[in-house]
Structures are given as C-alpha cells and as structure tokens.
Amino acid sequence: MRTPAVRKYRSFFINSTHWDGFQPREDDIVISTAPKVGTTWTQRIVSVLVFQHTRLGTPLMDVSPWLDGTFTARDDMLRTLDGQRHRRFIKSHLPLDGLPFHSGTSYLIVGRDPRDTVVSAHNHARGMNATADDRMTSPTGEDVHTPEQPVVADDLADYWHAYFTRSAFPWEPNGWPFNSPTRHLESWWTMRDRPNVLFLHYQDLLNDLDGEMRRISAFLGIPVDESVWPDLVAACRFSAMKEKPERIFTKGSVADIVSNFEFFHRGRNGQWRGTGPEAAALDLYRAAVAPLPEELRAWLTRST
C-alpha cells in the first residue's frame, strides 16, 4: 500500500515534488527528521548496519541522498537510487503530509529538545549564509522560480524569536528558515504504533548509543554480529564523524560550504543552557511545544 503526499513543500532548502518520480522497494528505509535533530548521525548509524562495516565506497551523502533537498538535481538522485543494489536508506526533512507513505518502507523518525535544536539550527543557518555563493542561489537549476535564500539573524536571541514564531511555510508555526520541528514530529506521532515506524530521541542516542543502535538493528531486521559490533558503534560516535568528514560529504558545492563551518556543532544536548536565553525567549519555546499532545511533549522535552 502506498499513500501519496497531500501537501507540497517548496522552499530554498526543500522540494517535496522530488519524491514524485521515486519508485519504492519493499525494504527501503527513510530517515525523516526536522533539520538539526540528528539526521546525518542516524544516516551514519544505518550505513554501518546495512553494510556491516565502517567503510563507505562513496561519501554518505551519495549513498543516502537527501531526496527532497534542493542542492542536488532530482534526476541525479533518482538515478543514484535506481542503481543501488544494497538496501537503500534515504534522508528526508518532510513531515508525513509531504511524503508518500509506503507500507513496505521502514521509517526512522528522530526528535530532539527544540531548545537545543534552535542552537544547532542557528549555527547551521549562519554557516550556510556566510559561505553561500552563486552555486547556492539556484541550487539545482530546475526552474527560474527557486525561492531566495533566507536571511538569518547573527544574534542568537533574535534568531531564537524567529525560529519559534515562523517557518519557511505559512501553514507551519516554527522552525525558521527550515520547516517546523514540532509539526514534523506531531505529523508522525499518530503513526508511532505502526510496525514500520520507529521513533528515536537524540538524548537516548547520546546516553546509550550501543543500546539504541541495537534497537534500530532489531527494527530493521538486521542481526547483530558481535564480532564487528564494537567497531560499528565506535564509527558512529561524533568524534569519529568529525575526524573524517570526507566520509560524509560529497565533493562539490555542498562540501565546500559545510567545510567552512562546524556542521556537527557540539553534538550534545543541554547546549541551550550556555546561551543564557531570557525568560521571554523560553516563553516562546513553551508556546511552541504547548499545542503538542501531552505524551509527545513529555517525550520530546524531557529534562537534559
């Protein structure tokens, strides 16, 4: 069974129509997250589980394309995916209503405390802005109506206000200049009991990477080989990913951009506590998470 997307998402960063030409396979894996909540980390985890070793013949971003991203041409990504013979795992930042849902696909949904997400998103958005060039102003050259690159405040306090009060999409409440982290999770929360949907929390991955990787492995039906397991876990720690970024990023404009700022940032939760947000800023955060179902809100905003 395949349920089509019901809403189109189009921004400087995202184009949901890239999924229109995608042909699913029964064992596909989709990693769907809001930006800066552990997407690349989860892709790396899935890579070592699928291949059962730490090596990647090509960079992770080629092995696991961001299909709704705008910085690589859709047709190039579809050709890459069509040619893959291993179990495919694909990155997406789309909520459920923007993504076709297939009963044969396994979906990994990742959440993170929005107070930490805003700090990482600010670092990422500023880094993208500071290193942007002509290659970014028309990411794929698919048409002349590509949305303009958004302007992001340098000051975290100003950015905090924008992040928690607006989105790149008028029907969403927060996440600027990306899509909404709260709406993304809420859209998937109703599917959490489906056998092909697994929710992961950034804090759980930090607290017990070994245990969470075993949980992902079981969900994907991949047996754990204890003889190689310690090496697989070690390769998914932030220190290992930071040490060899060439394993992650494709050569070209995106790699050139992210090489100029700290893509992985601090790799921890609770980082918002060092930023000294004022009471009014925390009120914006509370207002953003208040509409969430109580169980989801408690799961997402657990104490760090």
- In this prediction, residue 217 carries a pLDDT of 98
Residues 108, 29 contacting (CB under 8 angstroms): yes
Third-level CATH fold of 2-300: Rossmann fold (3.40.50)
Active site residues: 93
| Average pLDDT value for residue range 215-222 | 98
- Parse the chain into domains and list their residue ranges: 2-300
Three-class SS state of 35: coil
Residue 17 token pair:
């129509």
* CA pair distance 42, 30, nearest whole angstrom: 10
Paired with 2 in beta bridges are 102
Instruction: Please list, in sequence order, all residues whose beta carbon lies within 8 angstroms of the beta carbon of residue 255, skipping any fewer than 6 positions away.
Output: 59, 249
Residue pLDDT, tens place only, 136-192: 444 444 544 567 888 888 888 899 999 999 999 999 999 999 999 999 999 999 999
Residue pLDDT, tens place only, 125-138: 886 665 554 444 44
* CA pair distance 235, 245, nearest whole angstrom: 12
| Average pLDDT value for residue range 223-229 | 97
* CA pair distance 92, 64, nearest whole angstrom: 10
236 residue type, one letter: C
69 confidence band (pLDDT: 50, 70, 90):
very high
78 residue type, one letter: L
Three-class SS state of 109: strand
Measured in whole angstroms, the distance separating CA 100 from the mean position of its chain's CA atoms is: 17
Residue 154 token pair:
């340098």
- To the question of pTM greater than 0.75 for the whole model, the response is yes
- In this prediction, residue 250 carries a pLDDT of 56
Tell me the average pLDDT of the chain: 86
Q: Give which of 119, 115, 134, 65 is closest to 93, Cα–Cα.
A: 65
